[in-house]
């Protein structure tokens, strides 16, 4: 019986691993240079931890199971609850601010579709213990820093920024009761994904008052922070939230990334725990799902039994990002990169052990090297060197036997040079 991979998962052949590592290496490099320390947690947690954050209905969206001890567990669908649990366990000993990152493998029991799989990798960066929106600006900067390193520009991607704090203040100012605001959020979060007519019908189901509903529709049409002043009126909470957004964009300008960023009142983020600035990253055509998203979540640690402490963070999955990089041709160079530095070939079977000796010495020096198990004709060995993407080939032949010299062939240009063994290793340093 031929067994297929489970739907919504991926096999990573070497060429696929090269792409995956390209993304993962960028995530890690950018995180470290922006001052974040790496952490990780278990692949499964107690199911109740995810229910605490997202409600009982989350169980149907997870790979949940009962272990032999009768405990309800779930494979992690995200790592933020684990972060909250870990920080709460050492909250009194961890130096503030806490700047952590992680690149976990995650699983969600949902219908696979373009850019959304059941198993994926995600980059998470979080700053805990900073009230100022400067922390939000740093998170956004770090996200843009990653996108730039990976080869994307402001012509390729955009960061759309809004504020849950602002939306909450304005909705209350419009006369919508607090208990109804979450329902409005749910509808607003779908606005960009559904036809306008459908959106208005859904809004009517949660807001029956035509006047209030029209205010929300007018608000959703706003394109700049300046236009918001008219909606805020004399409401101090709304005005404070607008000022915070202005301050954020001021920081982003100082950081030199405003060309990537724009205000978008329609960014809500679906998760209920967001409390302030929120943002999402999209490819410029916006034909795909969000590449990533995040925002401020000042209540999450308290919800998990810890103290009330400020926090902000961001997550970026590898699926949509991979599609964007593929479409932009940014993976093409990977197939041209050398996997091996030196391939050692030999013209006579009697030189096999000498080739092994040379390969071993190269490897001990930290140099990627390989050789042919079978030997045989030099042409076949050179072909094998090309197949493993070797940058250069060292040929042991008459020069080696008679003069202890190596022939070094550049596999790209075809040029050859003859060098003394001592000089060769001297050049390697």
Nearest of 391, 389, 404, 402 to residue 358 by alpha carbon: 404
Q: 304: number of CA atoms within 13 Å, CB side?
A: 24
Sort 328 into a burial class: Cβ within 10 Å, 0-12 / 13-18 / 19+.
middle
What span, in angstroms and rounded, lies between the C-alpha atoms of 108 and 343?
A: 43
pLDDT digits (tens, 9 = 90+) for 288-327: 889 999 999 998 899 889 999 999 999 999 999 999 999 9
> What are the structural domains, with CATH classification, of the chain?
14-41+79-332 (3.30.930.10), 338-428 (3.40.50.800)
In the block, residue with structure tokens 């989350």: 58
What is the pLDDT at residue 188?
82
User: Does residue 198 carry a pLDDT above 70?
Assistant: yes
What is the pLDDT at residue 211?
85
pLDDT digits (tens, 9 = 90+) for 84-139: 999 999 999 999 999 999 999 999 998 999 989 999 999 999 999 999 999 999 99
What is the pLDDT at residue 152?
96
**How large is the average pLDDT for residues 179-189?**
80
Write down how long the chain is: 429
Mean pLDDT, the chain, whole residue set: 91
pLDDT band at 143 (very low <50, low <70, confident <90, very high): very high
In the block, residue with structure tokens 């843009």: 144
Tell me the pTM.
0.90
What is the pLDDT at residue 278?
95
User: Does residue 57 carry a pLDDT above 70?
Assistant: no
pLDDT digits (tens, 9 = 90+) for 224-266: 888 888 887 778 998 899 999 999 999 999 999 999 999 998 8
What span, in angstroms and rounded, lies between the C-alpha atoms of 265 and 232?
A: 13
CB count within 10 Å of CB 206 equals 18
């Amino acid at each position: 019986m031929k067994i297929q991979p489970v739907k919504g998962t991926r096999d990573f052949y070497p060429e696929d691993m090269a792409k995956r590592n390209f993304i993962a290496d960028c995530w890690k490099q950018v995180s470290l240079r922006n001052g974040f320390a790496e952490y990780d947690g278990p692949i499964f947690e107690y199911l109740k931890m995810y229910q605490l954050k997202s409600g009982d209905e989350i169980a149907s969206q997870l790979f949940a199971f009962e272990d032999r001890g009768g405990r309800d567990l779930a494979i992690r669908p995200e790592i933020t609850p684990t972060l909250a649990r870990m920080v709460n366990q050492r909250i009194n000993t961890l130096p503030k601010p806490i700047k952590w990152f992680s690149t976990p493998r995650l699983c969600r029991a949902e219908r696979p579709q373009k850019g959304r799989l059941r198993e994926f990798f995600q980059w998470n960066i979080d700053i805990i213990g900073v009230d100022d929106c400067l922390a939000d600006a740093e998170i956004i900067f770090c996200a843009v820093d990653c996108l730039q390193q990976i080869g994307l520009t402001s012509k390729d991607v955009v960061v759309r920024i809004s504020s849950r704090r602002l939306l909450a203040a304005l909705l209350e100012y419009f006369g919508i009761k607090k208990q109804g605001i979450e329902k409005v959020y749910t509808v607003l979060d779908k606005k960009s994904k559904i036809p306008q007519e459908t959106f208005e019908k859904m809004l009517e189901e949660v807001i029956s008052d035509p006047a209030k509903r029209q205010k929300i529709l007018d608000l959703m049409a706003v394109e700049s922070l300046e236009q918001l002043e008219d909606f805020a009126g004399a409401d101090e909470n709304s005005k404070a939230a607008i000022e915070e957004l202005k301050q954020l964009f001021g920081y982003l300008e100082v950081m030199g990334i405003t060309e990537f960023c724009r205000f978008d009142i329609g960014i809500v983020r679906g998760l209920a725990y967001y409390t302030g600035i929120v943002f999402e990253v999209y490819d410029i055509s916006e034909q795909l799902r969000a590449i990533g998203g995040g925002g401020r979540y000042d209540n999450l640690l308290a919800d998990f039994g810890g103290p009330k402490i400020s926090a902000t963070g961001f997550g970026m999955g590898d699926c949509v990002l991979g599609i964007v990089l593929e479409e932009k041709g940014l993976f093409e160079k990977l197939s041209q990169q050398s996997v091996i530095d030196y391939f050692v070939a030999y013209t006579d079977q009697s030189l096999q052990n000498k080739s092994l000796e040379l390969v071993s010495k190269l490897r001990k020096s930290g140099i990627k090297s390989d050789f042919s198990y079978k030997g045989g004709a030099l042409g076949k060995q050179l072909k094998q060197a090309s197949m493993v993407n070797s940058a250069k080939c060292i040929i042991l032949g008459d020069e080696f036997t008679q003069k202890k010299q190596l022939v070094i062939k550049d596999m790209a240009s075809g040029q050859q040079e003859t060098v003394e063994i001592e000089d060769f290793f001297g050049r390697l340093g």
